[in-house]
A and B are shown apart, each in its own frame.
Chain A
Amino acid sequence: MTDAVTVTDLAVDRGTRRVLHGLSFSVPAGQVTGLLGPSGSGKTTLMRAVVGVQRTAGGAVAVLGRPAGCPSLRARVGYVTQAPSVYADLTVRENVRHFGALHGMGARESDAALADVGLLDAAGRLVRDLSGGQQGRVSLACALVAAPDLLVLDEPTVGLDPVLRAELWARFHALAAAGTTLLVSSHVMDEAARCDRLLLLREGRLLTDSTPARLRAESGTDDLEEAFLRLIRSSEEADANEQGHGHRSEGRARSGAPHGSEQVSRA
């Protein structure tokens, strides 16, 4: 299987602080890869680096065989930010048509993208009159209309009702089956189960690069949330072992518990 994205030793600094610490992984083509982790773990920064809008401090990101941000990739990579980036003073349809026009797409493709996100009924409404969840779907439609080879979606299902969320995930898998590569971030663990592949990011480091089935098998639990928790604890134990012999239990008590509970509360 070919890889759509290959990240090698990627480092990113924000000011003087390092937020991504030498990540290496790849995203297989034609699959849905989930990028999971608590907020502040570096998910958005990593996605920005893949899209090519993030200044990097080291390493390399290759997308569809070219360096990320290469002009020829702009027609092939779609990016949906966490906050809806659409024009509030245009109608839903006008937004999608505009972003479609930038990719040479017409009215038919625009309406198809609107149908995909379930907004055909609201096509004539101004975006500023919609709910936050609906605005997010407009933003998604503005990326879908371009029919990109790689779709990078930053928390696309936040605030959606469960039925719609299930429909969107079905749509993501249909796109993947048709050859599109999807990189989807989320902090909701039940969405991890819907991914073909999982990347768990924590404090700017890659904790695991796995699949839901393998993660369940390795951690000995069917609950992915619990599996992640065990993974985090064991990595912290390993850290504590490395740093100071004999302070193992203390280190775990200090850093393990609060982080663990944060993970639970976010999910």
Chain B
Amino acid sequence: MTAPTTHLSPALTAATTGRVLRQLRHDHRTMAMLLVLPSLLLGLLYLIWSDLPAPPGQPSTFDRVGLTMLGILPFVVMFLVTSIAMLRERTSGTLERLLTTPLSRPDLLLGYGTAFGLAAALQATVTVTVATTLYDLDVAGPPWAVVLIAVVNAVLGVALGLLASAFARTEFQAVQFMPVVVLPQFFLCGLLVPREQMPGWLQAVSDVLPLTYAVDGLQELGRSAEPTGRMWVDVAVVAGAALVALALAAATLRRRTS
């Protein structure tokens, strides 16, 4: 009876993307925060290390941490924004209504992913520009590759946020999934302690967490003037993880409930 509609309709996906972007456009404060907040936080990081000399023969601490943050901040922000947005769809009855229309579940989720991916591209462009000009962030690789990793990471945040919203009944619960999903990945991604120096079993855990690969890809860009093969593998792993999370999120959208 509830045969899942898995066929994709570009027109319906685009309608969803347009609708989500229009919702964002009406929310001026959210738009301003999306665009400006990562740059301000990066500025704070820049300032706290500004008086410390760089370790001899190594990149400065800000170059190392700041570059990584260009990937982590969009992930965190988009996770939060989409988990709340999808929770609102569920509690306001609009999700149930959408599921009675010809819109398929992949249409809906890809529409969300595209809308917030576009917002993330805008955000990452602003942040990378500010970081490399205002804060003198030193990146060996091309800025477009940094923006690309930031966007793929943001889409991962969107996908996990859509999935997490299925397990939250209230917005209080939804925001608490942020530390659950984000912090372990942040601790283990190799920024705080190089992965080689972690206990073996934690390295193994770190190996299966997608944020690890995003951070690895950014570190590649910090070292190498051209995108490396390893960076492309990292990007593919993060994108694959995002697709798996979207598929799992689709399975949580029930057309028929009790």
The chain A residues found within 8 Å of chain B, CB to CB, are 13-15, 51-55, 67, 69-71, 74-75, 77, 79, 81, 83-91, 94, 98-99, 101-104, 126, 142, 146
Please name all residues of chain A whose beta carbon is closer than 8 Å to the beta carbon of B5 when the two chains form the complex: 71
Given known A-B contacts A52-B255, A67-B1, A89 and B101 have beta carbons under 8 A apart: no
- Output the least CB separation between A30 and chain B (Å): 22
Distance of A170 Cα from B234 Cα, bound (Å): 62
Instruction: Please determine whether A102 and B103 come into contact, CB atoms closer than 8 angstroms.
Output: yes
Instruction: Please determine whether B100 and A77 come into contact, CB atoms closer than 8 angstroms.
Output: yes
Please name all residues of chain A whose beta carbon is closer than 8 Å to the beta carbon of B15 when the two chains form the complex: 98, 101-102
**Binding site of A, secondary structure by majority: helix, strand, loop or mixed?**
loop
Q: Using a CB-CB cutoff of 8 Å, which residues 34-67 of chain B contact chain A?
A: none
Please name all residues of chain B whose beta carbon is closer than 8 Å to the beta carbon of A86 when the two chains form the complex: 94
Please name all residues of chain B whose beta carbon is closer than 8 Å to the beta carbon of A142 when the two chains form the complex: 97
Among the listed A67, A85, A88, A90, which residue makes an inter-chain contact with B97, where contact means beta carbons less than 8 Å apart?
A: A85
Does any Cβ of A come within 8 Å of B98's Cβ? yes
Could you list 14 further interchain pairs (A-B, Cβ under 8 angstroms) beyond the known A81-B93, A90-B26? A52-B100, A54-B257, A55-B258, A67-B1, A77-B100, A79-B97, A79-B100, A83-B93, A84-B93, A86-B94, A94-B22, A99-B97, A102-B102, A104-B11
Instruction: Please determine whether B102 and A87 come into contact, CB atoms closer than 8 angstroms.
Output: no
7 A/B residue pairs, CB under 8 Å, sorted by A: A15-B258, A69-B256, A75-B102, A84-B93, A87-B19, A87-B94, A94-B22
Q: Using a CB-CB cutoff of 8 Å, which residues 85-132 of chain B contact chain A?
A: 92-94, 96-103
Given known A-B contacts A53-B255, A54-B256, A54-B257, A102 and B101 have beta carbons under 8 A apart: yes
Distance of A19 Cα from B92 Cα, bound (Å): 24
Given known A-B contacts A52-B255, A55-B256, A94-B19, A85 and B92 have beta carbons under 8 A apart: yes
Residue ID in chain B nearest A95 by CB atoms: B19
- Output the least CB separation between B33 and chain A (Å): 15
Distance of A126 Cα from B23 Cα, bound (Å): 10
Distance of A84 Cα from B93 Cα, bound (Å): 8
Distance of A182 Cα from B251 Cα, bound (Å): 32
